[in-house]
Amino acid sequence: MTEHTLTVAGVAVDPRHWIGGERVASAGTFTDVSPVDGRALGEIARGTPAEAVAAVAAAKAAFPAWAATPRAERARILHAIADGVEERLEELAIVETTDNGALLRSHRRGVMPRVAHNFRFFADRSLTLDHEDFETRGHTNHVSWDPAGPCVLITPWNAPLMLATWKIAPALAAGNTVVLKPAEWSPLTASLLADIAAEAGLPAGVLNVVQGYGSEIGDALTSHPDVRRISFTGSVPTARRIAASAAPHLTPLSLELGGKSPLLVFADADLDLAVDLAVEQYDNAGQVCLAATRILVEETVAEEFTRRFAEKAGALVQGDPREEATDIGPTIHPRQLEKIDGFVRRAVEAGARAVVGGHRVEERYYAPTLLTGVAQDSEIVQEEVFGPVLTLQTFADEDEAVRLADDTRFGLAATLVTGDRERADRVAGRLTAGTVWVNCFFVRDLRAPFGGSRHSGVGREGGTWSFDFYCDLKNTVTAPKGWNGHG
């Protein structure tokens, strides 16, 4: 333990950057505050463009050797990182809960095991990257995935380590080097990951972590001429700024942005299942990009659905996320809480009715909320709230359901509940969404493509699609003759 180390929930965390295999301080700091109790956790190094440029330089310097490292050796190191995550799972879980307020039980049972799985899956997948050779007039075509170079990865605060490693693991497995910029509201587990990666034998400079505000260091990272890939998860306005910054160098982008996803409930659905899936949208206090925040219910069952929903939502336990019985924890930050409350207040003023919730709970919580009487073109239906706020609308038939579902600028996901398989296939085919769940929610397989349509994103990651993004694909065409200089 050094003089710089913070102690967070009994765990030592270094608040400095990780650049070129060393801890690097900044002249300034910012205060990291826990949403659990509002307590200051410590002062975090506040990056400047100088640290951002240094991190890219370290990634560039480390790239040739890491790119030349055999895939099997890279995979071995990624598995060692996964081992380290599993060994420190409890520490990672409690630190992340303290830092971002998500449920400790979820971090223990789902999120941190997924972090380890991210490394294992992409490590193994890199070893199977292959495309069958094919011939053109006797010439052989051979497709290969070549490492692209230094990658800048910018990640959000709602699932910090899981979403960071969803990007880091394939980038490293592909042979690239990484500069990670974690969200300033939840930076701590990124720092712990840097320690774990170093202990696992990841060479210096292959993974770098720069903390701070995007407004202060973002452009230095995304406009840098040596950066070969940028992957960002966050808001549409920030994505526009990143795209503009990357444009002069034509740096390829992968953007996973917001959502305003629908949940369609047909009259032939299992209503208990539909209610369960709807209430599940309050997961992580509604701070989930995939959440189906627009509930669309066939009008003949809407009254019964609403009654059952209100009963089930009313039984949810809101409180300390470290407690096993808690279902909904706090909102990440007072600024986010104010944003959520503003959305609801304006909706009610416009004529909406809060069937469930509709108000703050103490200083750090927002009550699970369901609003009815909302217009399709209203702000509350069209804009992402990113909090525990759902709307309920009704539809008369399948055509109206699809029209309402697709009538936003987003297209990240959709969920539909029906007892008719033919209808499920028909409606799923008509919906604009990167992922459609039928009679289920949040079932994710790393082999599948993930991303959004329209304003919900650009590109797909997951499975081979991740390597398609993080690599330069090459086709080598070889003539059947001519090895000795003669035809």
Q: Which residues form the catalytic set?
A: 256, 289
What b/e readout covers 272-308, taking b as 16+ CB neighbours within 10 angstroms? eebbebbbebbbbbbbbbbbbbbbbbbeebbeebbeb
d(CA 407, CA 432): 10
d(CA 478, CA 22): 45
d(CA 309, CA 282): 12
Residue in the block written with tokens 């972090």: 115
424 φ/ψ angles, rounded to the nearest 5 degrees: -60, -45
Dihedral sign for Cα atoms in the order 277, 279, 281, 283: negative
| Continuous H helices in 180-300 | 188-199, 214-222, 236-246, 271-279
Structure tokens that stand for 193 in this block: 């990951």
DSSP-assigned letter for residue 108: I
CB 270 within 8 A of CB 424: no
> Who contacts 312 (Cβ-Cβ below 8 Å, separation ≥6)?
275, 276, 279
Q: Which amino acid is at 82?
A: A
> Who contacts 59 (Cβ-Cβ below 8 Å, separation ≥6)?
150, 151, 177, 178, 179, 205, 206, 208, 226
d(CA 49, CA 53): 6
Residue in the block written with tokens 């069958």: 132
> Who contacts 25 (Cβ-Cβ below 8 Å, separation ≥6)?
4, 16, 17, 45
d(CA 71, CA 50): 33
Q: Which amino acid is at 445?
A: D
Q: Which of 348, 356, 398 is nearest to 373 (CA)?
A: 348
* CA dist list (Å): 3 to 16, 31, 98, 184, 210: 11, 17, 22, 22, 20
344 φ/ψ angles, rounded to the nearest 5 degrees: -70, -45
